[in-house]
Amino acid sequence: MPQLRTERERKEEGVAALTAFIPAQHHSILHIEDSFRTDSTQRKVKCGFVHIQGRVENHSAMMISAFTTLNASNLCNISEQVDNKTLQTPLAVLYSIIFILGLTGNLVALWVFFFVHSKKNSLWIFLMNLALADLLLVVCLPFRIQYHLHENEWVLGDTMCKLVGYLFYMNMYVSITLLGLISVDRYMKIYGSARTRRKLSSPKWSIAACAIIWVVALTLMIPFLRKSNDKCPNTKRCFHYRTIPQEDLWKAHINIFVLVVFWLVFISLVLSYGKIALKLLRRSQRRPDLPTAPHYNRVARKSFFVLFLFVFCFVPYHAFRIFYIKTQISKETSGTRDLADKFNEISLVFSALNSCLDPVMFFMLSSSVRKEVRRFMSSVFCTRETSGTIGTIDANSSTELDSRTDKRESNTFSNVDEKKDVLSSAS
């Protein structure tokens, strides 16, 4: 049997024995008291017995209170038995690297989207919101770094702990959902009808979708912040393994819900980017003499790379999530909880890593980001920016040339402008 259960049984037996001891002692006191017949002796002895009885009852009340406190503390701080102090330094170092890279990359991306990028299409809306979500996630990392550097002791209070923890996960799942919408948007622009492509070219639907995502995410934060943790007063733990009691099973249900959302997004990414990449590869292989054939190959490779980033960052964490939730709601050994906690912390680093890898995706998907990064690098290294970079073909010129040389490809789209928009968003 688990060690925790054995300790709990011992405490319950102690309380039961003490409870049985008190009435027995009280009965003995009354029995001895009745054996004295003289008034004077009875008064003296009675005073002594009352004094002894009061001390026994006070002592027993203190012991019962102590047992009750220990039992409640045992139920509330079951996470204290999970020791992840061996990961303190590695987690602090890794989160520090992610913070520096993610902060720099996402600030540059937001600057480009707000002040440089001129075309406000649906892809621009999604990428801008994705950069914002990644930036908010990165802002939460210094709190985790400080926590791990101070030997896993939280000093900012329970409300701040819940706020930082929720914002971290909220922005992670906002990013995941936006990545799924980007894949659907790109898929429909290639496989959708002309009418669908015209609708998707307007940023209205992407603005509405992003607004709904943010409203739902912020609304779900309210019950987490309002739920007090009265059973665990003065705790100094945060971002750690917790069991979920019966009255808080709604937390497990929310975790399962977001887990389902993740796998739905994952399926949409696999289907969308997989079909896009295969279609472009077939086109380039069918007509390798076309000037746009290398461009199709690059777009196909980019699609596979985006899918690889998603799998690398998020799949390990969510593949293990069911087992982690199971250990929270069922009785498990301390070794099982320790394993669940350590794997959860390690896989969560991979999920946070996505916040500094998304700017790489911005560079690949947005020509404006590429142009500004090249301009910045050329100004830093005092080199002149050249337009003929090896392996780079401007999307507009390539699509114009493609529309003149390959009429068969242009039939897939309603006009040349729509084709330019699709390939520009895919490049």
Q: Indicate whether 296 pLDDT > 50.
A: yes
Lowest mean pLDDT among 88-92, 125-129, 232-236, 326-330: 232-236
Residue 35 sits in which domain range? 3-76
* pLDDT value, residue 146: 92
Please check whether residue 316 lies inside any domain of the structure. Answer: yes
Beta carbons within 8 Å of 125's beta carbon, 6+ residues apart: 203, 206, 207, 210
Give the whole-angstrom CA distance, residue 213 versus residue 217.
Answer: 6
How do residues 338-356 score in pLDDT, each as one tens digit?
888 889 999 999 999 999 9
End position of a domain, from candidates 35, 56, 76: 76
* pLDDT value, residue 315: 95
Please check whether residue 421 lies inside any domain of the structure. Answer: no
Q: Same structural domain for residues 290 and 320?
A: yes
* pLDDT value, residue 133: 96
Please check whether residue 414 lies inside any domain of the structure. Answer: no
Please check whether residue 24 lies inside any domain of the structure. Answer: yes
Among 334, 319, 132, 114, residue whose Cα is nearest residue 217: 132
Q: Same structural domain for residues 55 and 125?
A: no
Please check whether residue 274 lies inside any domain of the structure. Answer: yes
Among 76, 54, 67, residue whose Cα is nearest residue 13: 67
Between the CA of residue 344 and those of 4, 212, 350, what are the distances in Å?
22, 29, 10
Contact 350, 317 (CB under 8 A): yes
Q: Same structural domain for residues 231 and 245?
A: yes
Average pLDDT of the residues in 4-32:
49
pLDDT band at 327 (very low <50, low <70, confident <90, very high): confident
How do residues 399-423 score in pLDDT, each as one tens digit?
333 343 344 444 443 443 444 444 4
How do residues 164-182 score in pLDDT, each as one tens digit?
999 999 999 999 999 999 9
The count of domains in the chain is 2
Q: Indicate whether 372 pLDDT > 60.
A: yes
pTM of the entire predicted model? 0.70
Q: Indicate whether 50 pLDDT > 50.
A: no
Tokens read off for 163: 């706020």
End position of a domain, from candidates 76, 107, 126: 76
Q: Same structural domain for residues 229 and 372?
A: yes
Please check whether residue 400 lies inside any domain of the structure. Answer: no
Give the whole-angstrom CA distance, residue 74 versus residue 92.
Answer: 29
End position of a domain, from candidates 60, 76, 92: 76
Q: Indicate whether 262 pLDDT > 90.
A: yes
Q: Same structural domain for residues 63 and 115?
A: no
Tokens read off for 136: 């908010």
Tokens read off for 42: 């009875």
* pLDDT value, residue 318: 95
- Whose tokens are 């002895």? That residue is 45
Please check whether residue 263 lies inside any domain of the structure. Answer: yes
Q: Same structural domain for residues 188 and 205?
A: yes
Give the whole-angstrom CA distance, residue 167 versus residue 384.
Answer: 42
Among 174, 323, 170, residue whose Cα is nearest residue 252: 323
Q: Indicate whether 229 pLDDT > 70.
A: no
* pLDDT value, residue 373: 75
Q: Indicate whether 365 pLDDT > 80.
A: no
Give the whole-angstrom CA distance, residue 85 versus residue 75.
Answer: 21
Q: Which residue has the higher pLDDT, 149 or 6?
A: 149
Q: Same structural domain for residues 69 and 86?
A: no
Is 245 in a helix, a strand, or coil?
coil
Mean of all residue pLDDT scores within the chain: 73
How do residues 82-111 score in pLDDT, each as one tens digit?
556 788 899 999 999 999 999 999 998 898
Q: Same structural domain for residues 103 and 53?
A: no
Q: CATH no. for residue 178?
A: 1.20.1070.10
Residue percentage of the chain with pLDDT more than 90: 26
Contact 110, 133 (CB under 8 A): no
Is 286 in a helix, a strand, or coil?
helix
- Whose tokens are 């289907």? That residue is 271
Q: Which residue has the higher pLDDT, 372 or 258?
A: 258
Q: Same structural domain for residues 358 and 276?
A: yes
How do residues 111-133 score in pLDDT, each as one tens digit?
888 887 667 788 889 999 999 99
pLDDT band at 379 (very low <50, low <70, confident <90, very high): confident
Q: Same structural domain for residues 65 and 96?
A: no
Q: Same structural domain for residues 204 and 142?
A: yes
Q: Same structural domain for residues 361 and 333?
A: yes
Please check whether residue 53 lies inside any domain of the structure. Answer: yes
Beta carbons within 8 Å of 249's beta carbon, 6+ residues apart: 329
Tokens read off for 74: 């045992």
